[in-house]
Amino acid sequence: MIKLIAIDVDDTLLNSQNKITIQTKEALQKALQMGIKIVLCSGRPLAGVSPYLNELGISGDEQYVITYNGALVETVSGNIISKNTLDNDSYRKIVSYATINHMPYYVLDDESNVYTSDHDVNRFAIIQAWENSAGILIRTPDELDDDFEITKAAIVGEKEQLDQFEQPVKDQFSNDYYVVRAGGNFLEIMHQDVNKGSGLKKLAQALKIEPDEIMTLGDEQNDIPMFNFAGTAVAMGNGSDLAKSHADYVTDTNDNDGIAKILTKKIF
């Protein structure tokens, strides 16, 4: 019996118009009425997923959300269950590397704030800030407190740029950090113990829910750790081939109510 459904946001919960379809919303609300926990599990911060939590009617300290790809596990009200951040030394290393190699980047703190020292701000940093209903703080490391920490850094750019950046960044940082391509335009660097699977595991332990009582839905590389943890892993039809290869099932696309269809088939 499924007791918790963990759902990626971009290109999974949301269709290509960045909307939740009517059928998906109705299916998730039906699951909520059955007592199933619906947990959004995203690379976004809480501010970036709050509009969708509100739309689905998910609120309070008895509902949960996994943000920053697992760096924070918290209640929807914002009470933290677990947090893994990168210290100031790590932040400075990443910024120095990105700057020297002319890689557009931004970082996020644990309050959904977006920072970069790039004066020519990449459009994907702007998109992230817009999703968070926030601005962008242009700051060098020396302009911030010595104890400033981040939840994650993101090297950003057009897909062709990131195709060139991905391996050098992984070569530089993968021994000490979790580095993952979170879609075509985002290459993310986080604490080595952080991923969606570890965040989901911490939440499951807190709720005393077993892996075989969990369904996960996603579309990209950063969803694979939660696929590997859960008893039932579902990739979206629009997902990457790599994500699909780690899933138990492949449902329809995000534009064709893939979530509603798999829930109807496996739960209702």
With a CB cutoff of 8 Å and minimum separation 6, the contacts of 232 are 2, 212, 214, 215, 216, 248, 249, 266
209 in the same domain as 162: no
Q: What is the pLDDT of residue 209?
A: 98
165 in the same domain as 220: no
138 in the same domain as 155: yes
72 in the same domain as 91: no
185 in the same domain as 98: yes
CA 129/CA 106 separation, integer angstroms: 10
Number of domains observed in the structure of the chain: 2
199 in the same domain as 185: no
- Look at residues 189, 216, 246 and tell me which one is the last residue of a structural domain: 189
- Look at residues 189, 215, 247 and tell me which one is the last residue of a structural domain: 189
Q: What is the pLDDT of residue 53?
A: 97
176 in the same domain as 97: yes
Render pLDDT for 95-149 as a digit per residue (tens, 0 to 9). Answer: 999 999 999 999 999 988 999 999 999 999 999 899 888 889 999 999 999 999 9
Angle among Cα 200, 155, 225 to the nearest 5 degrees reads 20
Render pLDDT for 135-162 as a digit per residue (tens, 0 to 9). Answer: 899 999 999 999 999 999 999 999 999 9
Look at residues 84, 39, 83 and name the one whose alpha carbon lies nearest to residue 217. Answer: 39
Domain region containing 144: 86-189
99 in the same domain as 74: no
Local structure of residue 220 (DSSP, 8 states): S
What CATH number does residue 236 fall under? 3.40.50.1000
Under DSSP, is residue 150 helix (H, G, I), strand (E, B) or coil?
A: strand
Q: What is the pLDDT of residue 171?
A: 97
Residues (pLDDT < 50) of the chain are: none
- Look at residues 159, 189, 219 and tell me which one is the last residue of a structural domain: 189
What is the set of active-site residues?
Answer: 8
174 in the same domain as 101: yes
CA 49/CA 137 separation, integer angstroms: 20
For residue 50, the Cα-to-chain-centroid distance in whole angstroms is 13
175 in the same domain as 101: yes
What CATH number does residue 167 fall under? 3.30.1240.10
Q: What is the pLDDT of residue 128?
A: 87
Specify the DSSP element, H or E, that contains 191: strand 186-191
For residue 19, the Cα-to-chain-centroid distance in whole angstroms is 17
198 in the same domain as 75: yes
